[in-house]
Structure 1
Amino acid sequence: MSNELTPKQKKFADNYIESGNATQSAIKANYSKKTARVIGQENLLKPAIKTYIEKKMKEIESHKIMDAKEAMELLTRIARGEERETVVVGTADGLASTTKEADLKTRINATKELLKRYPDNDKLLEQQIRKITAEADIAEARAKEYDPEDVGNDSDGFIEALNKGAKEVWGDSDETES
């Protein structure tokens, strides 16, 4: 058997690409309704039809589906205010459409989406992590130094533990000033 598809097989494959349903694709390709289920499954096993479907899916993927580079370019255009959108506005004469650049909130969101892809460049995230770590260290120090008998007393051990936790997070201030 040659690698060329018959017109019926091609129609089946094209319908299958659209619907993903082998039985319905066989019926639309003019196979008998009684045997459509079996024929549909058999067609999917035929190497020539499988190859045709795979080839077409790759074409569709490359032309219809946005890849990562294209998504990044779109987000960049939005963040820079280069991408315009059509907006319908009400006027005294009825409705009119106009184009405008993305609002500030949309541009900020696009920028955040871009920065998510570059975690090393996210200084805000880095600072938030430092703050959370410091808070956790302080809470741990408080838990270690907590003495139920000293409730109401500001013990030196508690203050020392807080200072120690802060030094671990931010370093000793005496050493960093030189």
Structure 2
Amino acid sequence: MKLTTKQKKFADNYIKTGNATQSAIEAGYSKKTAPTIASENLIKPNIKSYIDEKMKEIESERIMGAQEALEFLTNVVRGEELETKVVATQFDVSTVQVPADVKTKISAAKEILKRYPDNDKLLEQQIRKITAEADIAEARAKSVDTSFNDEDRTIILDDMEDDN
């Protein structure tokens, strides 16, 4: 369902200010009915979904995603991301753009490596432990199977029949 001009104006103002009553007034509703209209508008499905959709758009533009974060960290490690340093002499103070220091680059590299499971030492140790346990279980299973030959099995079955 499409929004009326007033509803759209209300929703857009509400997104900007977070004040429903004032948004209703600015959208053209009377001051007397604005609080009631504002409350009603916020629960109408079409207005609510419009507001939710616009808020998601704003959020995705404002919040850094994982890819963007990894690109930034990579730029720091490569020295492509510059920071401003203040340089003071006895005659003046100036600023220069310089790459991150080695300690910062190492920290950024560690952050990148945390995001890749195959570089995770704890995960690597857990995988080794699980693999070793599986190998042990397989070896035990094989030793159990080879501990009896067909002749032994026949004797055991014959003994069981004699007991009955």
TM-score category, normalised to shorter length: 0.5 to 0.7
**Partner AA of 1:44 in structure 2:** L
State the structure with more CA Rg. 2
Q: Using the TM superposition, give the Cα deviation of residue 87 of structure 1 relative to its aligned residue in structure 2, in angstroms.
A: 2.9
Gaps of 5+ in 1: 130-178
Percent identity, aligned pairs only, is 63
1:1-178 paired onto structure 2 within 5 Å: 3-6=2-5, 8-92=6-90, 94-123=92-121, 125=122
**Partner AA of 2:104 in structure 1:** T
Gaps of 5+ in 2: 127-164
Normalised TM-score (structure 2): 0.60
Q: 1:40 to 1:95 in 2, by over 3 A?
A: farther
Root-mean-square deviation over aligned CA pairs: 2.9
CA contact (8 A) 1:5 1:48 kept: no
Q: How far apart in 1 are the matches of 2:28 and 2:104?
A: 50
**Partner AA of 2:43 in structure 1:** L
**Partner AA of 2:113 in structure 1:** L
Q: Using the TM superposition, give the Cα deviation of residue 117 of structure 1 relative to its aligned residue in structure 2, in angstroms.
A: 1.4
Q: How far apart in 1 are the matches of 2:63 and 2:17?
A: 17
Q: 1:91 to 1:42 in 2, by over 3 A?
A: farther
Equivalent residue of 2:80, what SS?
Answer: coil
